[in-house]
Structure formats: C-alpha cells, structure tokens
C-alpha cells in the first residue's frame, strides 16, 4: 500500500499550477465568465502544447496512456483556478466515452483529434424530465434502412456551442433495460437537423446548451461500438467523469479555503485579525477538514477506476461524487461568509468557486442520486 | 499509488481473520458485551483475550521481539488492528489507552529497564493502563495542569487531583502528567510518570456518566511516593515527547476506528431491513436511505483519509497536515450514525432493552456514549483551534495569547 504521490505525479501538479497561474489568472476567468465563447483559442492551443488533452488517451491513438489519478491531479489544478472552457467536455466527457465504447477505427479517428487539440467535443446526456437519472434516455433512434433517424432533446450539454462533434446516448431498442436498449452515436455538431441553443447558466465558466435533434439522419457507422450496447461503456466513462468533477471540487475547495484563511489573517476588526476569533477560525478549520478529507476520497476513487474491482469503482465514484461536491459547496459558501461583504461582490473571485461548486454538485448525478445508488449497493451486500 | 495489500499481507490478514473466528466465542456480538457496569468482568474479558492474542503471536505485531513483540511490519500491525476493529474488539475492550498511548510512549521514550519491565506485561494482558491528563482546572486547557511532583531523594511526592480518568478504578498503572518544576507555566515543566496504581495515597472514585456506567473517575493523589525511576523521558520534556510520539498512534487509531464504524453501518442497514414503520421496513424509506448512505460515505472518508495519512507517515516519517483532522472525521460522523439509528426506531427509540427494544437497546447506549466522542481526547473546538492555528497559521485569540506568554 502506498497512498502517496510519485515524483512524476507531483510534477504534473506543479507544472499545471505554474502554467495556469500564468495563463489563467482570476481576471481572465472573470472575463470569460461573461464571454459567450467562454475560452480563447490561444489558451486552448497552449494547453494542447502541454499535452494535457493526450494524457488519458492510449499511446497507439496518439496519447500518453496515463492513469486516472494523473488526470485527477491535473483537474485538481484546473478546479483551483476555475478553468473555463471545453477541456472537461472534450477530454473527459467525450474522450472517456469514446475510449470506453469506440471501435479501433473510431478511437483512431476521434481520440487522435482530441489528443492533438484539433477537435472539441462533448457528451449530450441529460434530457427534459430526467432529472439526475442517468438512465433516463428518451431520445429515439429509429431505423431507416441502414441509417438511424434521431429525434429528441438533450439539455445541459456542456460546451456544445464550441463542439466539433457530440456523443449522444440514444434509445435504439424498444423494450428492456438500458443495458440492452441504449446506443451511443457520435455526430457532427453541424449535422443537418441539429440545433444548439446556449442556456443562461449560473456558472459562466461552464457554458451549457440545449441540443435538439429533429430527424437527424446518421449512418450505422456513427454508433460507437455495438448497437444497443452503449449503456455499460457509458456508465464506465461517467464514473471517470464523476471522479473528474471531484478533482475539480478538491482543487476549488483548496483555493477557496486559502483565500478565506489568508483574508482572515489580514482583515482587522475590533483591533485584531478576524482569524483570531474562534467563530471565524473554526469556519476556516472546517474548510480545511472538508477539503483534505475530500482529497483522500478523490485518491481512492481515482485509483479504484483503474485498479479496483467493478463494484469498488462504482461505489468509490458515487461516494466521492457526493462527498467532494458537497464539501466544495460548503467550503465556497463559508468562503463568502469569511470574506463578508467583499465575498458577496462579483468583483471578488469567491463567487466563481460557489457557482462552480453548485454546478459540479448538480452535474452527473446529484449527491442525493449518488447516495441512493450507494444504498442499493450496500443493501444488496448486507441482505 | 496503490491501495492494495501485497499478497503476503493478504495471506496474513486471512490467517488472522481465521484465528479470530476460531478464538472468539461463536455467538460473539460486540454490541452485547460487558460494560463498565461490571468493571471486573470487562477487565477479565480483556485480559483473557489479550493473553490468547499474545500466545498466538499476534500481540504487539510491529514491536521488537526483545520486549515480547512480533518484530513484523507496521502494515501488518495495521492489518491486525483493522481486523480487531472490524469485530469491534478494540472498541468494547478497555485496552485503547494501554495500547494506543502507554505502549508507544514507553517503547519510543522509555529506558531499557522501563521497556523490559512494562512492555511484555502490556502485551500478555497482565497490565491495564489509564492516563492521568485532565484536571478540574485543566480540561481543554490541558497545559494548566497543577498536580505536583516534588523530588524527595529517590522519590517524587505527588499531590493533586485528576478527573475524567477512564478505567482508573481497575487499571494497574497510570500514565500520569505532573508538574515537576513548581515555577514553570503552561507546557514547560510537565513530566510523565509511570505510576503503579496500588501505591498508597491514590484514591480513584468512579463517576457515573450519562450512559449509567462508570468508565471514568476522579483520582486523588495524596502524598503518593513514586520512585524517580518512574520518570519517562526527561524532566520537563513531557509535553513535547507526548505530542510527537502520539501523532503516529492517532493515524493508526483512525484506521482502527473506521473499521469498527464500517461494522456499525452494516448493523444499521440490518436494523433498517428488520425495523418497521407503518408496517413497512424502514430501509424502504428514502429519507433513511439517504442518511445511511451518507454515514457510509463519511466512514469511507475516515477510512481512506486514515490510510492516506498512515501511508504518508510511513513513507516520510513526518506527520502531514492531513493527520490533524482525524478526530473530527470520526467523532462527529459517529454521532450522526447513532442519531439515525435512534430516529429509525421511531417510538422504540425510547426503549433501552428487553423484548420490545430494537437490537437489545444497543443503539440507545451507543447514542449516549457517542456524545463523549466530541469531548474526549481533545474537544472538537480544540481540534479546530489546532487546525486553525497550527495548520492554517491563523493568529491565537487575544485573551489566550496573553495567558500563554
């Protein structure tokens, strides 16, 4: 057993922190928050030069074949600065799904483009009335000869406005469990019949859109892997994406905690730094406690995706998703409280953390959803 | 990064698990063991079990063979502790202070004579220890200790009063913190003595706690003559010594306690499956499902945080900042587990035992006992002060700053 970071892993984090401090300062994030695109091409290109898009992609598809924990360390640093833009949607949501479901040819085509930074992509998962239920997939894919016709609405799709291609889980089977009825299509964002409408988001650093498909005609070759067999690879990819959100949450919580405790050391009221008052000090201590324990959960869940048994990978991802995103929300909210009126302004960066925290809590299954999933696994193990 | 045990460690775990299954009575129920209402019984149960552990070669796993230990790895030490935690042995038997504090302190700081004298007796179950820290005026402000030890030839003459001293009424020895320099203030001038509880002038008086049992005591020391050879470490260095030695044990303690709480969550789920509300099993109630799952998640956070802390401690030898939060990660979640259990029982939550009680009233006991968790071994407030000041570097509050200078 060794639950420490290797030298290489420490370097990933340090390099990322150095790069992002320079290239993605708070002023840039504040600007992108209001910008309709949400990221500059310049930053995207520089990130690609760092080989970040290639980290998790296997070497034979032009990537570096690294582990989930390595990606988590990078995402932790991205969360620390509340990185805007389509990295998460492209590399994690679309990339991991293609990696889990695609055929060799599909991986060669799409993953190489992602690894090089040439393509931006996303995953269109949620639907109206589905809530957090990841299996609520109503978009229909009906056969038309050798082709399929897609009809339906996908919501809360991250960065669809920038995407070159979109992975879409679709119901192609008529009856039965998701495991036998869901297919994953990959389609161009400019496919005939696809309408992408940006939605006003609370977190301006993570743009969301509605993706509406009206009689979108796709060939059979657009199906990732096998027809009707998209559910399991999708779930595997989503687990890694859930862990990815945890990593962002840990990085964000860490920075929010640092901002708050640094402020508490210098802000003087009643002739003393407010951090000397236990009411404030204990809030900071609680922020530290939740952040540091979240990091332990993140390491476990990251490791379990690559090396744990299937059941452990699932329960670890759900446990971490609930724990870390709850913690980030608590920490960011306390951060605003410690900063007082200053923390309540748009000018101060703390709002970025609270908004991202809520977004990460809501995305890919709320804590309530994940707790129920855990309970199902626990109850079946005990009874 | 690797969360797995080596194959050899896995085999060792299996062996010990098998031994435990064979050794514990077939109907071993950690939730139905003698309590402190029967001090002799609880002591004898501990002694008999520890003796068996020792005879089977499982006592003091990572301690030196020269003192009766097994000379095995720290990881194997953790494995044994985890397994005992899983069966809740370490929680229901009164050996926590003996093995978590007295043993490491003597092992790492004691003289050769002290090690030879005390460690084998701890490992074979002959000696139980208590610790004399808190005093009426030194609770959270533990450095305010005023129990005095005045040198008189080959002895210290000890006078003073300790309080909240768990197990003092049946312990054989006490790890006693005293002030050896009468002119000293705060942490300076504190020393540790290894005190034989049968010495004349020691008077433990059990105090009944909210569970109805007497786990802790007031202990009066009236001109107790303690041999100078009982001093451990240097005079006046007691505080520093204790803090560095016990950091590591804390890390190990978190791992043990998470194993016990995992068992408690399983028990909670079994209870939810059999307890009914409006004729339906409580386990079908979405509110309780959320609470149970949340408790499981919190125990996983404790477990993996504890393991991570332990792992980095082994690798670097230095306790990282992650070590300081373990106490908060177990005490508060344990209170939530017991509260959930009580709520799930509905009106039966009022019944502490007998045929109409749920799981023989064990949760009623656990609920009350858990209220001590955020007080004992440093209150939650003190833990948060420590994190705020020593980890985050926040200033001390003005009044405490003055009294410390």
In this prediction, residues B123-140 reach a mean pLDDT of 94
Query: CB neighbours (10 Å) of residue A325?
Result: 31
Residues 310-369 of B with CB under 8 A from A: 311-312, 315-316, 321-322, 325, 328-329
Residue A318 token pair: 């759900």
- Burial of residue A271 (number of CB atoms within 10 Å: 0-12, 13-18, 19+): exposed
User: What is the interface pTM, i.e. ipTM, of the complex?
Assistant: 0.97
What is the model's pLDDT at position B321? 64
- Considering B249, B322, B332, B376, which one is annotated as catalytic? B249
Partners of residue B305 in chain A, C-beta under 8 Å = 292-293, 296-297
Q: What domains appear along chain A, each with residue ranges and CATH number?
A: 7-120 (1.10.540.10), 123-224 (2.40.110.10), 231-382 (1.20.140.10)
What is the model's pLDDT at position B397? 84
Q: Residues A300, A320: contact at Cβ < 8 Å?
A: yes
Q: Does A261 touch chain B (CB under 8 A)?
A: yes
CA dihedral of B96, B102, B104, B110, whole degrees rounded to 10: -170
Closest Cα in chain A, distance from residue B90 (Å) = 23
CA dihedral of B33, B39, B40, B42, whole degrees rounded to 10: 30
Closest Cα in chain A, distance from residue B370 (Å) = 20
Q: Residues B19, B56: contact at Cβ < 8 Å?
A: yes
Q: What is the mean pLDDT of chain B?
A: 92
Residue of B nearest to A296 (CA): B305
Closest Cα in chain A, distance from residue B394 (Å) = 6
Task: Say how far apart CA B358 and CA B271 lie, in whole Å.
Answer: 8
| Tens-place pLDDT, residues A192-208 | 999 999 999 999 999 99
What is the model's pLDDT at position B154? 97
Closest Cα in chain A, distance from residue B215 (Å) = 30
Locus of tokens 């071994």: B377
Partners of residue A375 in chain B, C-beta under 8 Å = 289-290, 292-293
Task: Say how far apart CA B135 and CA B22 lie, in whole Å.
Answer: 43
Q: Does B390 touch chain A (CB under 8 A)?
A: no
| Tens-place pLDDT, residues A359-370 | 999 999 999 999
**Pairwise CB contact (< 8 Å): A276 & B3:** no
3-class secondary structure, A41: helix
Lowest mean pLDDT, pick from A217-226, A353-362, B78-87: B78-87
In this prediction, residues A214-225 reach a mean pLDDT of 98
Q: Is A122 left (phi over 0), alpha (psi -120 to 50) or beta?
A: beta
Q: Does A293 touch chain B (CB under 8 A)?
A: yes
What is the model's pLDDT at position A84? 98
Query: CB neighbours (10 Å) of residue B195?
Result: 26
Percent of chain B with pLDDT over 70: 97
What is the model's pLDDT at position B240? 81
Between the CA of residue A202 and those of A37, A64, A107, A115, A133, what are the distances in Å?
15, 35, 34, 30, 22
Nearest to B290 among A264, A281, A371 (CB): A371
To probe the interface with A, which of B268, B394, B403 has the most A CB atoms within 10 Å? B394
Percent of chain A with pLDDT over 90: 97
Nearest to A204 by CA among A383, A36, A381, A12: A36
Nearest to B397 among A3, A276, A319 (CB): A276
B234 tagged catalytic: no
Question: DSSP letter string over A274-338?
Answer: GGGSHHHHHHHHHHHHHHHHHHHHHHHHHHHHHHS-HHHHHHHHHHHHHHHHHHHHHHHHHHHHH
Partners of residue A282 in chain B, C-beta under 8 Å = 381, 384-385, 388
Residues 6+ apart with CB under 8 A from A148: A141, A142, A170, A172, A183, A185, A217, A218, A219, A220, A222, A223
Task: Say how far apart CA B238 and CA B246 lie, in whole Å.
Answer: 12
**Pairwise CB contact (< 8 Å): B397 & A299:** no
Lowest mean pLDDT, pick from A44-48, A348-352, B87-91, B96-100: B87-91
- Packing angle of the helix pair A68-80, A7-23 (nearest 10 deg): 30
Task: Say how far apart CA A16 and CA A47 lie, in whole Å.
Answer: 10
- Grade residue A34 by pLDDT with cuts at 50, 70 and 90: very high
What is the model's pLDDT at position B405? 40
Q: Which residues of A57-70 are buried (b: 16+ CB within 10 A; e: fewer)?
A: beeebbbeebbbbb
In this prediction, residues A237-248 reach a mean pLDDT of 98
Task: Say how far apart CA A137 and CA A150 lie, in whole Å.
Answer: 12
Which long-range contacts does B196-200 make (Cβ < 8 Å, 24+ apart)? B196/B172, B196/B226, B196/B230, B197/B130, B197/B168, B197/B171, B197/B172, B197/B173, B198/B172, B199/B224, B199/B225, B199/B226, B200/B224, B200/B225
Partners of residue B315 in chain A, C-beta under 8 Å = 2, 4
How many inter-chain contacts (A to B, CB under 8 Å) are there? Answer: 169
Q: What domains appear along chain B, each with residue ranges and CATH number?
A: 7-127 (1.10.540.10), 131-236 (2.40.110.10), 240-404 (1.20.140.10)
Report angle CA B12, B16, B20 to the nearest 5 degrees.
170
Closest Cα in chain A, distance from residue B343 (Å) = 18
| Tens-place pLDDT, residues A250-292 | 999 999 999 999 999 999 999 999 999 999 999 999 999 999 9
**Pairwise CB contact (< 8 Å): A276 & B396:** yes
- Go through chain A and tell me how many residues it has: 383
| Tens-place pLDDT, residues A53-104 | 999 999 999 999 999 999 999 999 999 999 999 999 999 999 999 999 999 9
What is the model's pLDDT at position A176? 84
Q: Is the pLDDT of residue B249 over 90?
A: no
- Grade residue B399 by pLDDT with cuts at 50, 70 and 90: confident
What is the model's pLDDT at position B403? 55
| Tens-place pLDDT, residues B274-290 | 999 999 999 999 999 99
Residue of B nearest to A257 (CA): B392
Task: Say how far apart CA A324 and CA B300 lie, in whole Å.
Answer: 12
Going by their DSSP bridges, the two strands B129-132 and B173-179 should be labelled as parallel
Q: Residues A159, A207: contact at Cβ < 8 Å?
A: yes
Q: Residues B381, A278: contact at Cβ < 8 Å?
A: yes
DSSP state for residue A24 in the 8-state scheme? S
Q: Is the pLDDT of residue B404 over 70?
A: no
Q: Does B402 touch chain A (CB under 8 A)?
A: no
Q: Which residues of B356-383 are buried (b: 16+ CB within 10 A; e: fewer)?
A: ebbbbbbbbbbbbbbebbbeebbebebb
Residue A131 CA, chain-centre distance (Å), reads: 17
Between the CA of residue B117 and those of B43, B67, B108, B191, B309, what are the distances in Å?
21, 9, 14, 20, 32
What is chain A's alpha carbon radius of gyration, rounded to the nearest angstrom? 21
Q: Does B387 touch chain A (CB under 8 A)?
A: yes
Residue B43 token pair: 């002591």
What is the model's pLDDT at position B317? 76
Report angle CA A191, A193, A198 to the nearest 5 degrees.
85
Task: Say how far apart CA B18 and CA B87 lie, in whole Å.
Answer: 12
Q: Residues A257, A330: contact at Cβ < 8 Å?
A: no
- Grade residue B254 by pLDDT with cuts at 50, 70 and 90: confident
What is chain B's alpha carbon radius of gyration, rounded to the nearest angstrom? 22
Partners of residue A294 in chain B, C-beta under 8 Å = 301
Q: Does B254 touch chain A (CB under 8 A)?
A: no
Closest Cα in chain B, distance from residue A79 (Å) = 20
């Amino acid at each position: 057993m060794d639950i420490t970071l290797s030298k290489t892993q420490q370097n990933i984090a340090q390099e990322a922190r150095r790069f992002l401090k320079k290239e993605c300062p708070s002023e840039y994030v504040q600007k992108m928050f209001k910008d309709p695109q949400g990221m500059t091409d310049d930053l995207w290109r520089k990130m690609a030069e760092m080989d970040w898009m290639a980290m998790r992609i296997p070497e034979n598809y032009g990537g570096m074949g690294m582990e989930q924990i390595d990606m988590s360390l990078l995402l932790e640093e991205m969360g620390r600065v509340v990185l805007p833009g389509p990295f998460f949607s492209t590399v994690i949501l679309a990339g991991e799904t293609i990696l889990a479901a695609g055929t060799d040819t599909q991986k060669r085509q799409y993953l190489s483009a992602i690894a090089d930074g040439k393509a931006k992509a996303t995953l269109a998962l949620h639907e109206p009335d589905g809530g957090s239920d990841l299996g609520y997939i109503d978009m229909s894919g009906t056969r038309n000869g050798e082709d399929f016709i897609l009809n339906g609405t996908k919501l809360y799709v991250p960065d669809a406005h920038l995407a070159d291609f979109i992975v879409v889980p679709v119901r192609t089977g008529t009856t039965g469990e998701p495991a036998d009825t869901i297919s994953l299509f990959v389609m161009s964002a400019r496919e005939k019949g696809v309408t992408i409408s940006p939605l006003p988001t609370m977190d301006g650093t993570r743009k969301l859109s509605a993706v509406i498909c009206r009689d979108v005609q796709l060939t059979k070759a657009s199906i990732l892997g096998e027809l009707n067999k998209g559910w399991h690879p999708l779930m595997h990819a989503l687990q890694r994406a859930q862990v990815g959100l945890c990593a962002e949450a840990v990085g964000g919580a860490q920075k929010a905690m640092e901002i708050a405790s640094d402020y508490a050391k210098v802000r003087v009221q009643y002739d003393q730094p407010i951090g000397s008052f236990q009411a404030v000090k204990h809030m900071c201590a609680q922020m530290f406690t939740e952040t540091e324990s979240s990091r332990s959960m993140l390491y476990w869940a990251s490791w379990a995706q690559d090396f744990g048994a299937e059941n452990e990978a699932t329960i670890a991802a759900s446990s971490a998703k609930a724990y870390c995103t709850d913690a980030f929300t608590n920490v960011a909210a306390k951060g605003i409280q410690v900063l007082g009126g200053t923390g309540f302004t748009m000018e101060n960066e703390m709002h970025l953390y609270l908004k991202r925290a809520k977004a990460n809590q809501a995305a890919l299954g709320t804590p309530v959803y994940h707790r129920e999933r855990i309970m199902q696994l626990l109850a079946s193990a005990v009874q | 990064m690797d969360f797995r045990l080596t194959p050899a460690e896995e085999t060792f775990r299996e062996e010990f698990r098998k031994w435990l299954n064979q050794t514990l009575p077939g109907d071993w129920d950690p939730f139905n063991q003698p309590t402190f209402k029967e001090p002799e019984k609880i002591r004898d149960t501990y002694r008999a079990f520890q003796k068996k552990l020792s005879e089977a070669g499982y006592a003091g796993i990572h301690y030196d063979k020269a003192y009766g230990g097994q000379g095995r790895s720290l990881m194997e030490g953790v494995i044994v502790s985890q397994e005992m935690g899983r069966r809740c042995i370490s929680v229901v038997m009164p050996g926590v202070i003996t093995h978590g504090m007295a043993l490491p302190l003597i092992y790492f700081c004691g003289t050769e004579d002290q090690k030879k004298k005390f460690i084998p007796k701890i490992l074979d179950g002959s000696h139980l220890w208590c610790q004399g820290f808190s005093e009426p005026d030194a609770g959270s402000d533990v450095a305010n200790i005023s129990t005095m030890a005045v040198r008189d030839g080959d002895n210290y003459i000890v006078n003073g009063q300790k309080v909240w001293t768990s197990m003092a009424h049946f312990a054989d020895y006490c790890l006693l913190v005293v002030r050896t320099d009468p002119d000293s203030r705060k942490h300076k001038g504190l020393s540790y003595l290894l005190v034989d509880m049968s010495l004349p002038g020691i008077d433990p008086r059990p105090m009944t706690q909210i569970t109805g049992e007497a786990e802790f005591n007031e202990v009066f020391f009236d001109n107790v003559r303690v041999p100078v050879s009982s001093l451990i470490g240097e005079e006046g260095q007691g505080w520093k010594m204790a803090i560095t030695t016990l950091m590591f044990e804390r890390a190990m303690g978190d791992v043990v306690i998470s194993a016990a709480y995992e068992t408690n969550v399983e028990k909670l789920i079994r209870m939810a499956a059999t307890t009914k509300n409006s004729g339906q099993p409580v386990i079908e109630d979405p509110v309780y499902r959320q609470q149970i799952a949340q408790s499981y998640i919190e125990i996983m956070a404790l477990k993996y945080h504890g393991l991570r802390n332990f792992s980095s401690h082994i690798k670097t030898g230095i306790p990282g900042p992650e070590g300081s939060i373990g106490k908060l990660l177990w005490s508060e979640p344990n209170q939530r587990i017991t509260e959930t259990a009580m709520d799930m029982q509905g009106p039966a939550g009022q019944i502490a035992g007998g045929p109409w009680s749920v799981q023989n009233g064990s949760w009623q006991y656990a609920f009350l006992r858990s209220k001590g968790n955020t007080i004992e071994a440093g209150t939650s407030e003190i833990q948060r002060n420590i994190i705020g000041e020593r980890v985050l570097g926040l200033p001390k509050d003005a009044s405490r700053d003055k009294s410390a200078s």
